[in-house]
Amino acid sequence: MDARRLHPAGGMMRWLVLGPVWAWLLLFIAAPALIVLALSFSQAAASVPPYDPLVTWVGWWPSLHLLADNYVTLVQDDFYLDAALQSLLVASVSSVLCLLIGYPMALAIARAPERWRSLLLLLVMLPFWTGFLLRIVAWIGLLGDDGWINAVLLWSGLVGAPVHMLYTRFAMYVGIVYCYVPFMILPLYARLSKLDPALEEAAADLGAGPVGVFLSVTLPLSAPGIAAGLALVFMPAVGEYVIPELMGGPSAQTIGRALWNEFFANHDWPMAAALANVMLVGLLLPLALLRAGQRRL
């Protein structure tokens, strides 16, 4: 017999607890997503708001106007395809760099004495206490032609002229990795800190060296943390706008910058909405693959 029939108050309590959560998701996630989806089937117009209405009234009868022109333009125009491919490349490289930098840091924190772990994690999260834009501006001051890094290089005699680093791909990757590496460290630490040391000791007793222990025990068991960290870095990095705009220069035409230009510079809200929807659908595929991989792990 259904437990809810035996205890009707339990079903009521369940709805009282989950009802606000569902209402929040519908109001602030589902509803905006539907609005953006509907807007993408409209057409830009010189009006306020700057798009043609989807529904017009002919007498007492509504007339629905759905146009797929924006999606056709996205497929036919190489500019948007290049921006999407460049965003995927930037996000992939940034995710790998964050993994290469974050894994040793997470492993070191997990292996540190327990009394030091809280302090080390606090140092990892400390940059979040400062504004995002302020941290980016600080890197602009460091990487500029007259910045501190070039000043040290010139003073030491390693270079004879300032090295141009700002407004390059190098500066863009530095900014993205710096901002997102904590998102890689935290899930990796959460996984590595739960590993049973007895497994590594057993592998060492069976003759495996430090590298063999790491490759055969530590790395495979930390795979769920790696997958979670890659997702936390890759997903926001694909749509990143601020860092490529401030540090990447004109050549860093990512999909985030293309979306911003359509929305604010061109005032083409329907095209921006279509671009956002395509980017969202494009991210759902790797997310689904990630979830399938986590289930196998």
Helix (H) or strand (E) holding 160: none
CA atoms of 13 and 35, how far apart (whole Å): 32
Predicted confidence (pLDDT) at residue 252 exceeds the cutoff of 50: yes
Please determine, for residue 51, whether its predicted confidence score (pLDDT) is greater than 60: yes
pLDDT at 220: 92
pLDDT at 269: 92
Measured CA to CA, the distance from residue 127 to residue 125 in angstroms comes to 6
Q: Is the pLDDT of residue 1 over 50?
A: no
> What are the DSSP E strand ranges found in 59-211?
61-64
Assign 7 a pLDDT band (cuts: 50, 70, 90): low
Q: What pLDDT, on a 0 to 100 scale, did the predictor assign at position 141?
A: 92
Under a CB-based contact definition with an 8 Å cutoff, are residues 99 and 184 in contact?
yes
* E strand intervals along 65-128: none
Which pLDDT value is given to residue 95?
A: 95
pLDDT tens for 98-136 read 999 999 999 999 999 989 999 999 999 988 888 888 999
* In the chain, % of residues over pLDDT 90: 49
Over the chain, what is the mean pLDDT?
Answer: 87
CB burial class (10 A; 0-12, 13-18, 19+) of residue 249? middle
Of 34, 63, 66, residue with least CA distance to 51: 66
The answer to whether residue 297 scores a pLDDT higher than 60 is no
Model confidence at 9, in pLDDT bands (50, 70, 90)? low
Comparison of pLDDT for 290 and 29, the residue scoring more: 29
CA distances (Å), origin 245, targets 101, 135, 151, 297: 24, 14, 25, 38
- Determine the 3-state secondary structure of 130 from DSSP: coil
Residue 295 has a pLDDT of 67
Q: Region 213-226: what's the mean pLDDT?
A: 90
Q: Measure the CA–CA gap between 212 and 218, rounded to whole angstroms.
A: 9
Burial class (CB in 10 A: 0-12, 13-18, 19+), 10: exposed
For the residues 194-222, what does the mean pLDDT come to? Answer: 87
pLDDT value at position 46? 82
3-state DSSP call for residue 170?
Answer: helix
Cis geometry, peptide bond prior to residue 49 (ω within 30 degrees of 0): yes
Mean pLDDT for 212-233 is: 90
Between these two residues, 183 and 280, which has the higher pLDDT value? Answer: 183
d(CA 260, CA 24): 27
pLDDT, position 107: 94
